Amino acid sequence: MFAGRMDRIWALGGILVAAILLVVGWFFLISPQLAETDRLQGETETAHVRAATLQSRLSQLKRENADLPRYRAELEAARQALPTTAESEQFLRQLQTAGEATGVDVGTVAVGAPAVVEAAGVKMHSLPVALTATGGTVALDEFLDQLQQVQPRAALIDDVTVQEGGEEADSKTGLNVNLKIFVAPPAVK
């Protein structure tokens, strides 16, 4: 009887030791490996998402690169609005041309000293220009449209003072216009 009891104690002890080994093995061997596996799978999924995002961005950049000549042409056209030198004589010719095209007499034109301005993080210079123009009201309106929208040079009209003509049918209205033209730094290639 005593031998049967000892066998049961050994059997229970063996089961208990096996259970303890199983718990210790789980917490110190298996569980950390499962956590590491989960972490690596998460990193893999993140890497796959990032790779797909980068692949999409690469495809977009390839499409944009195909349009590079068009972008360069647009940039060149826009750069004409912001030359790298004052070119005030050319602007004065453009004023005269705009006046002739609209039937406005451009009188006095005075270009002031340049001032440094900053726009979009880029330093450039602005040149104040004061001019007088006379003509009919419709012609003067077209002349201002020419200054702001048609002629290629970027011009910002600051102030316009209107001097009404007399009551005669052929009297002309006068304008005093204060505006700024801009000179940008050379383009970086």
Q: What is the pLDDT of residue 50?
A: 95
Residue 165, CA distances (Å) to 135, 169, 172, 174, 176 in order? 9, 9, 5, 7, 13
Q: Where are the alpha helices (DSSP H) in the chain?
A: 2-25, 31-66, 68-81, 88-102, 137-145
Which pLDDT band holds residue 2 (cuts at 50, 70, 90)?
A: low
As given in the structure block, the two tokens for residue 91 are 């602007």
Average pLDDT, the chain: 86
Q: How far is 75 from 78, CA to CA, in rounded Å? A: 5
Three-class DSSP category at 113: coil
Could you tell me the pTM of the whole model? 0.58
Higher-confidence residue of 142 and 165: namely: 142
